[in-house]
Amino acid sequence: MIDMSRPDIPPRIFCVGLNYKAHTQEMGNALPEQPVIFMKPTTSLVAVGEPLKLPKAQGSVHHEMELVVAIDKLGADIPVEVALGYVSGVTLGIDLTLRDLQSKLKQAGQPWELSKSFDGSAAIGKFIVWTAQSDIQNIDMRCSVNGKQRQQGNTREMLFPVAKIIAFLSRHWQLLPGDFIYTGTPSGVGPLVAGDRIEIESPQIGRFSWDAS
Ligand code: ZN
């Protein structure tokens, strides 16, 4: 888990669910009409080089590879046209999900937090500086487990692009410098077990890996 004394702990970690059509379909959900938002606490974060400890005896733990953006300015009611001006950095991360538990919670109409927001549920790569010159909606990414590819996607496949997500979030929360946004996962999610090595990679961002235990 991240050393909480470090200065780069974000104020909030926002996450978007069901933001890629193929993943939404593999989950058996209808396409959302507006972004599906949940949050993780800062104790969810697992930096590169830290152990990825999976919850035990709570059913399957799935990996969701995601583009993560960092916000660097205060902003409320941000117009979509200028929203990308609030992004300072991008990286890849993994939204770990207790899938069996999430299915039960969904069926019961209950919130997802127990399945999504546990300690150690948000692996985070190293941020690179993002400038408006590079196209945030054309980032390739791949996820492999023990050397076998599981997920592959491009941010152009997002149902709600990053600018729309930022505009939407800023209507409900004032965005704060340092906030992270996990922007949803492409299809191919699957189980991770102790002993697995997971690697996430983007030619535009870098490559990060963790050993699950
Ligand atoms: Zn996710």
Q: What is the CATH number of the domain that holds 130?
A: 3.90.850.10
Domain with 103, as residue range(s), is 13-211
Environment class of 129 (CB within 10 Å of its CB; exposed 0-12, middle 13-18, buried 19+): exposed
Question: Does residue 127 form part of some domain?
Answer: yes
Question: Does residue 4 form part of some domain?
Answer: no
> Separation of 18 CA from ligand 1 center, angstroms?
7
Q: Over 90: is that where the pLDDT of 9 sits?
A: no
Instruction: Scan for tokens 């690179």, then name that residue.
Output: 128
Task: Quote the pLDDT of residue 23.
Answer: 93
Task: Quote the pLDDT of residue 133.
Answer: 78
Question: Does residue 110 form part of some domain?
Answer: yes
Neighbours of 148 (CB within 10 A): 6
Task: Quote the pLDDT of residue 1.
Answer: 53
Q: Residue 131 — very low, low, confident or very high, per pLDDT cuts 50/70/90?
A: confident
User: What is the pairing mode between strands 140-145 and 180-182?
Assistant: unpaired
Q: Over 90: is that where the pLDDT of 7 sits?
A: no
Question: What is the overall mean pLDDT for the chain?
Answer: 95
18-54 pLDDT tens trace? 999 999 999 999 999 999 999 999 999 999 999 999 9
Task: Quote the pLDDT of residue 8.
Answer: 73
Contact partners, residue 12, CB within 8 Å, separation at least 6: 39, 173, 176, 179, 180
Question: Does residue 173 form part of some domain?
Answer: yes
> Separation of 15 CA from ligand 1 center, angstroms?
7
Cα–Cα distance, 46 to 52 (Å, whole number): 7
Q: In degrees rounded to 5, what are phi and psi of residue 150?
A: -110, -45
Question: Does residue 2 form part of some domain?
Answer: no
Question: Does residue 162 form part of some domain?
Answer: yes
> Separation of 125 CA from ligand 1 center, angstroms?
15
Q: Over 70: is that where the pLDDT of 194 sits?
A: yes
Ligand 1 is a single-atom ion; what residues have CB below 5 A from it? 64, 95, 185
> Separation of 69 CA from ligand 1 center, angstroms?
13
57-76 pLDDT tens trace? 999 999 999 999 999 999 99
Question: Does residue 6 form part of some domain?
Answer: no
Q: Over 60: is that where the pLDDT of 4 sits?
A: no
> Separation of 55 CA from ligand 1 center, angstroms?
17
Q: Over 70: is that where the pLDDT of 3 sits?
A: no
Environment class of 95 (CB within 10 Å of its CB; exposed 0-12, middle 13-18, buried 19+): buried
Question: Does residue 207 form part of some domain?
Answer: yes
Q: Give the total number of structural domains in the chain.
A: 1
> Separation of 66 CA from ligand 1 center, angstroms?
7
> Separation of 22 CA from ligand 1 center, angstroms?
13
